[in-house]
């Protein structure tokens, strides 16, 4: 069925044509699918997680009942760093910026009553991504779900942690080995799962310009592709499951151009450099989140407007899924009401506007087409500089990406301080007195409850089985990663003799009720931890 305007005349699904490739055609400037949102809207995800698994489970149920079409899990800082809630380093951080997950027991509670064979779940976890993915698979199997049916994404993008975010554990080379092991494992066991979400979002939040966001993100993508190929995988075996994660700022025109340029660059890199032939290997599919760094604590209701504009840019740019930030996130974790308003923002765009009536509405715009070309040219030049340093990992070791982003962040801060860059409610149009706002607060007693639960778990489980499983994991980590991927495992999960994929013994350890901290600790013993060098 076609779309009609308010005045009653038809809106074409696609405008333009001629010599330029259309939507769903290489190099996918106009979108990765021919119909885009004219067939169905983007996936509406809401990033959520706080406190205990039970509290987060309640929020997920509310979001699903409110119309969210995908879950997105936020983990607390100790979980992101591979520490249990009872670790000394975890003190004061348990449940604060996400949900605390220490073991399979917490994962069961987190997804209690949620049919994992029917929902699509994104998990924002990087250094210990393999651990949380396997916990998710174990819980799904307990629900009777065939792993081949599981759909979702694990972020698993550790390179950007060294650049912009800081939740790394192992050195870069060991981290790349773990990433490629996830690729190989999912190819065999979780064929519908997106094995990585290569992220520019956090670089943008740290101060990267749109050009830097595209260049450094795609350079990381190139590094991951090379690591997977070095591990013996054919590019078309894993590339269709790669995905990306970008920010959407308030500068709508450049953001639309950024998304169009990123698709074009990636398609050409995958075809020309890596020889990919499967069209799905060439498609840059991406999730978008509105710009948290642009939210303000002053006059926080203004963030509703900012988020709507940012979401509009993501949709006009052709995102596959979207998270809209809540207006109160500059103050605290979102309340139930503010999270619902954020979801409603997406629903208004999908159902009350004509954004879903036609594909790539800005195609042919003089401004957007020119900006697309400019972003592409400058991003390619920056990617070439990374290549000259030996690729993304070696450039990270030299502090290049981090240094470039910090320069951009400093420039923006200066412009805001001088008033050259207007931030409404902050350096212009301020109020003499701000209204009082009551944020959501996390109960500090959560930490003690998690400690008690961990002590009970360790007292009830088979300690010898856990120790044996962790020893097998250490042995696999000590063995160089195999060049061959091997075949799918039988019921016993035994690895081929020449295959040292750490995910198989890791799954056995987690099933035996080893904790997140114990599993990551076993890998720390073998691979060590990363200590950044200040090069400035």
Domain assignments of the chain as residue spans, ordered by start: 446-527
Rounded Cα distance between 252 and 264, Å, is 19
Average pLDDT, the chain: 92
Whether the pLDDT of residue 68 is over 90: the answer is no
Q: Both tokens of residue 127?
A: 């250094």
pTM across the whole model: 0.90
| Partners of 461 in the β-ladder | none
Give 69-93 pLDDT, tens digit per residue: 788 899 999 999 999 999 999 999 9
Q: What is the pLDDT of residue 483?
A: 38
276: left (phi over 0), alpha (psi -120 to 50) or beta: beta
Give 255-314 pLDDT, tens digit per residue: 999 999 999 999 999 999 999 999 999 999 999 999 999 999 999 999 999 999 999 999
Contacts for 497-505: CB closer than 8 Å, 24+ residues apart: 500/476, 501/181, 501/184, 501/185, 501/476, 502/130, 502/178, 502/181, 502/473, 502/476, 502/477, 503/130, 503/134, 503/181, 503/182, 503/185, 504/185, 504/476, 505/469, 505/472, 505/473, 505/475, 505/476
Rounded Cα distance between 25 and 383, Å, is 24
State the angle between helix axes of 302-316 and 336-351 in degrees (0 to 180), rounded to the nearest 10.
40
Res. 437 pLDDT band, cuts 50 70 90:
confident
| Cα torsion 68, 31, 318, 8: sign | negative
Average pLDDT on 205-215 reads: 98
Average pLDDT on 107-126 reads: 95
Average pLDDT on 136-141 reads: 98
Through-space distance between the first and last CA atoms of the chain, rounded to whole angstroms: 59
Q: Which residue bears the tokens 């980590």?
A: 477
In sequence order, which residues have a C-beta less than 8 Å from that of residue 460 and are 6 or more positions away? none
Please tell me whether residue 240 adopts helix, strand or coil conformation: helix
12: left (phi over 0), alpha (psi -120 to 50) or beta: beta
DSSP 450-472: HHHHHHHHHHHS-HHHHHHHHHH
Whether the pLDDT of residue 456 is over 70: the answer is yes
Q: What is the pLDDT of residue 536?
A: 41
Rounded Cα distance between 414 and 263, Å, is 32
Q: Please give the share of the chain, as a percent, with pLDDT higher than 70.
A: 96
Q: Both tokens of residue 400?
A: 């290049």
Q: Both tokens of residue 112?
A: 């209690």
Q: Both tokens of residue 394?
A: 């070696």
Q: Which residue bears the tokens 């174990």?
A: 138
Per mean pLDDT, which range of 320-334, 381-395, 453-467, 482-496 is the poorest? 482-496
Average pLDDT on 322-331 reads: 94
Q: What is the pLDDT of residue 341?
A: 96
Q: Which has the closest alpha carbon to 99: 152, 55, 42, 68?
A: 55
Specify whether the CB–CB gap between 167 and 150 falls below 8 A: no
Whether the pLDDT of residue 431 is over 60: the answer is yes
Rounded Cα distance between 193 and 285, Å, is 13
């Amino acid at each position: 069925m076609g779309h009609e305007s308010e005045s009653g005349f038809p809106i074409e699904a696609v405008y333009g044509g001629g010599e330029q490739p259309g939507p769903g055609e290489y190099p996918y400037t106009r979108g990765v699918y021919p119909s885009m949102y004219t067939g169905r809207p983007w996936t509406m995800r809401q990033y959520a997680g706080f406190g205990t698994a039970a509290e987060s489970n309640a929020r997920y149920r509310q979001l699903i009942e409110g119309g969210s079409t995908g879950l997105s899990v936020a983990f607390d800082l100790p979980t992101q760093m591979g520490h249990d809630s009872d670790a000394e380093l975890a003190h004061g951080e348990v449940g604060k910026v996400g949900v605390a997950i220490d073991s399979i027991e917490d994962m069961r509670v987190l997804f209690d009553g949620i049919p994992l064979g029917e929902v699509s779940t994104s998990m924002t976890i990087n250094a210990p991504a393999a651990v949380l993915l396997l916990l998710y698979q174990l819980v799904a199997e307990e629900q009777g779900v065939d792993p081949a049916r599981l759909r979702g994404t694990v972020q698993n993008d550790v390179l950007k942690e060294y650049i912009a975010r800081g939740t790394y554990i192992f050195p870069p080379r060991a981290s790349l080995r773990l990433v490629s092991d996830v690729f190989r494992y999912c190819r065999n066991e979780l064929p519908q799962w997106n094995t990585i979400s290569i992220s520019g979002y956090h670089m943008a939040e740290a101060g990267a310009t749109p050009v830097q966001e595209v260049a450094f993100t795609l350079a990381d993508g190139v590094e991951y592709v090379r690591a997977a190929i070095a591990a013996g995988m054919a590019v078309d075996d894993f590339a269709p499951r790669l995905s990306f994660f970008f920010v959407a700022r308030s500068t709508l025109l450049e953001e639309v151009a950024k998304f169009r340029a990123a698709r074009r660059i990636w398609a050409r890199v995958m075809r020309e450099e890596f020889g990919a032939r499967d069209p799905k290997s060439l498609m840059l599919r991406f999730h978008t989140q509105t710009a948290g760094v642009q939210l303000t604590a002053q006059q926080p209701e203004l963030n509703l407007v900012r988020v709507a504009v940012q979401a509009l840019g993501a949709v006009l740019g052709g995102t596959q899924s979207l998270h809209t930030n809540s207006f109160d996130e500059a103050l605290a974790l979102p309340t139930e009401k503010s999270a619902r308003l954020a979801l409603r923002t997406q629903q208004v765009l999908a159902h009350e506007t004509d954004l879903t009536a036609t594909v790539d509405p800005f195609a042919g715009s003089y401004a957007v087409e020119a900006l697309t070309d400019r972003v592409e040219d400058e991003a390619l030049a920056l990617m070439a500089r990374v290549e000259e340093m030996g690729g993304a990992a070696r450039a990270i070791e030299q502090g290049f990406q981090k240094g470039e982003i910090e320069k951009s962040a400093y420039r923006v801060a200066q412009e805001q301080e001088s008033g050259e860059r207007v931030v409404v409610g902050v350096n212009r149009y301020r109020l003499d007195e701000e209204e009082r706002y009551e944020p959501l607060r996390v109960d500090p007693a959560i930490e003690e409850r998690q400690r008690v639960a961990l002590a009970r778990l360790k007292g009830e489980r088979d300690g010898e089985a856990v120790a044996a499983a962790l020893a097998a994991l250490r042995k696999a980590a000590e063995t160089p990663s195999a060049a061959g991927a091997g075949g799918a495992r039988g019921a016993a999960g035994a690895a081929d003799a020449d295959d040292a994929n750490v995910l198989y013994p890791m799954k056995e350890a987690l099933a035996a009720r080893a904790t997140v901290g114990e599993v990551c600790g076993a890998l720390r013993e073998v691979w060590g931890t990363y200590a950044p060098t200040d090069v400035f």
